[in-house]
């Protein structure tokens, strides 16, 4: 298996002493409620209060500032103390913010993950076993009768949409400038953005490059959201849209103009291996031999840090239980094999794009 050096060091030999391993296993066994404690310490503003009051706050002060009962605050603070989220001064019983609490409060990635995990995934993961055994997103059911999350997206409750888009945008937005530089270096004029969603990358392209035209293809529901998001914005006349469901094997890629590049950002991870090969084959039919595909993905084996690799392998289980039941965050070996199976060649892989974790795989026929 391919692994970046840092990951190889920790994934090929046991990193923990027995005592550390036992402690971690205990933490995992309380994972669901520990997660809720973290979320609620943010939601009730307690971590922010402790951040703003460096000398600390007593339980009574926290209770009067939050309006929560003494009982509720006591339970939350004691749980947070034993989870190292806060610290206590034993001489005056004041709580202070711990380092874990600081990161829960201030790390934008952690905040996007918490919202996504609570609003989109939490209930669905209860039936992860069913999803794994049956190969369908069994956890999507509590949102309604949908085959995949993508059809449901624009009909989901507002806070669920907000958390889904917050997560999606957080992870791709940071990478757009470097991606755009790569695409522009190849003098792209007509770009096809496959799974272009609400058009954030397309807007970035037309703002930065007065000559580029971008066509987004996506499901009709997302194209509608994209048109709303783009209405009246300068450059939006150079953003076009084609509604299509690429899961339908008979759906061909658009040929309304000669595209000189195809951009797929966080798109192929929405499909099973077999579907990826089919999509790439159909896409390659509309490009010439000297045109390129730019495939941006967060490949879990190409991460420098364990938490990043772990977030990605856990995200796979969102695809399993909630999104579609059959896709995942791929690794280099698997995605390369599928690209080759579709009759394509990998020209280069650019790593550490954006705030770290993305790779852009440049592919030719």
Ligand X SMILES: C[S@@+](CC[C@H](N)C(=O)[O-])C[C@H]1O[C@@H](n2cnc3c(N)ncnc32)[C@H](O)[C@@H]1O
Q: What is the binding site for ligand X (CB under 6 A)?
A: 150, 168, 172, 195-197, 218-219, 222, 244-247, 265-267, 270
Query: 80 vs 265, which CB is nearer to ligand X?
Result: 265
In the complex, minimum distance from the CB of residue 266 to ligand X, in angstroms, rounded to a whole number: 4
Adjacency order of strands within the sheet including 292-297: 239-243, 213-218, 190-194, 261-265, 292-297, 358-364, 345-353
In the complex, minimum distance from the CB of residue 170 to ligand X, in angstroms, rounded to a whole number: 9
Query: 42 vs 314, which CB is nearer to ligand X?
Result: 314
Query: Is 87 in a helix, a strand, or coil?
Result: strand
Those residues with Cβ within 8 angstroms of residue 223's Cβ, 6 or more apart along the chain or in another chain: 216, 241, 242, 243
In the complex, minimum distance from the CB of residue 138 to ligand X, in angstroms, rounded to a whole number: 19
- Residues listed for the chain: 365
Strands 345-353 and 94-97: unpaired
Output the DSSP codes for 169-221: HHHHHTTHHHHHHHHHHTT-SEEEEET-TTSHHHHHHHHH-TT-EEEEEE-HH
Q: Comparing C-alpha atoms, which of 166, 197, 313 is closest to residue 263?
A: 197
Q: How far apart are CA 16 and CA 95, in angstroms?
A: 30
Query: 80 vs 215, which CB is nearer to ligand X?
Result: 215
In the complex, minimum distance from the CB of residue 52 to ligand X, in angstroms, rounded to a whole number: 34
Query: 44 vs 150, which CB is nearer to ligand X?
Result: 150
Whether 362 contacts 293, CB under 8 Å: yes
Q: How far apart are CA 157 and CA 143, in angstroms?
A: 8
In the complex, minimum distance from the CB of residue 183 to ligand X, in angstroms, rounded to a whole number: 14
Query: 103 vs 146, which CB is nearer to ligand X?
Result: 146
In the complex, minimum distance from the CB of residue 72 to ligand X, in angstroms, rounded to a whole number: 37
Q: Which residue is nearest to ligand X (CB)?
A: 195
Query: 47 vs 246, which CB is nearer to ligand X?
Result: 246
């Amino acid at each position: 298996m391919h692994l970046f050096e840092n990951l190889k060091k920790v994934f090929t030999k046991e990193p923990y002493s027995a005592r550390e391993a036992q402690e971690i296993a205990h933490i995992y066994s309380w994972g669901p409620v520990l997660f809720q404690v973290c979320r609620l310490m943010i939601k009730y503003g307690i971590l922010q209060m402790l951040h703003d009051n460096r000398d600390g706050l007593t339980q009574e002060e926290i209770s009067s500032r939050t309006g929560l009962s003494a009982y509720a605050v006591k339970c939350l603070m004691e749980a947070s103390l034993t989870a190292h989220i806060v610290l206590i001064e034993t001489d005056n019983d004041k709580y202070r913010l711990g380092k874990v609490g600081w990161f829960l409060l201030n790390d934008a990635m952690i905040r996007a993950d918490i919202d996504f995990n609570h609003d989109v995934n939490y209930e669905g993961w209860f039936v992860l076993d069913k999803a794994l055994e049956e190969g369908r997103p069994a956890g999507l059911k509590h949102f309604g009768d949908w085959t995949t999350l993508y059809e449901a997206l624009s009909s989901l409750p507002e806070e669920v949409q907000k958390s889904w888009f917050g997560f999606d945008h957080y992870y791709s937005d940071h990478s757009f400038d470097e991606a755009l530089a790569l695409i522009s270096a190849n003098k792209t004029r007509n770009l096809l953005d496959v799974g272009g969603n609400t058009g954030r990358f397309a807007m970035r392209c037309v703002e930065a490059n007065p000559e580029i035209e971008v066509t987004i293809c996506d499901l009709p529901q997302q194209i509608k959201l994209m048109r709303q998001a783009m209405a009246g914005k300068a450059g939006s006349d150079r953003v076009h849209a084609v509604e299509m469901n690429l899961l339908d094997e008979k759906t061909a890629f658009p040929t309304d103009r000669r595209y000189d590049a195809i951009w797929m950002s966080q798109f192929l991870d929405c499909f099973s291996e077999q579907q990826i090969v089919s999509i790439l084959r159909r896409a390659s039919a509309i490009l010439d031999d000297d045109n390129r595909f730019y495939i941006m993905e967060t490949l879990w084996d190409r991460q420098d840090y364990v938490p990043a690799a772990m977030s990605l392998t856990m995200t796979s289980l969102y695809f399993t239980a909630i999104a579609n039941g059959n896709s995942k965050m791929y690794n280099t070996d698997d995605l390369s094999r599928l690209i080759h199976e579709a009759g394509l060649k990998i020209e280069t892989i650019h790593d550490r794009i954006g705030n770290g974790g993305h790779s852009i795989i440049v592919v030719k026929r």
